[in-house]
Amino acid sequence: MKITWTLQDGRTHTAEVANGINMMEAAVANDITGVVGECGGSLSCATCHVYVADDWLGKTGEPEDFEDAMLDATEAERKDNSRLSCQIVADDSLDGLHLIVPAP
């Protein structure tokens, strides 16, 4: 599947991501500045925070309770479309997904 990030400087980066890879791993593999993934995807750091583009919110779904609590600890402002990207896993239904990296 393809995923596009809007970067902190406003440019976009699109990459091919294999099914089963989470969006934090995909961002790190693509050197996306601002997505860190300090805890390796174990839901304990909130450094993989991204905003989901509005037209994709229905497909990525809602955060689980623990992710929801962790989203209160993000460095950038939490918004209605905030997610921890390690909790979004690539599959064909997300082909074309658009994520926005929070500004520093």
Instruction: Tell me which residues touch ligand FES (CB under 6 A).
Output: 24, 37-39, 41, 43-48, 84, 86
Residue nearer to ligand FES on the CB measure, 1 or 43: 43
Contact 71, 63 (CB under 8 A): yes
Residue nearer to ligand FES on the CB measure, 48 or 99: 48
CB 78, min distance to ligand FES, A:
14
Alpha helices in the chain (DSSP H): 23-29, 57-60, 65-70
Residue nearer to ligand FES on the CB measure, 84 or 98: 84
User: CA-based angle 102:55:75, to the nearest 5?
Assistant: 15
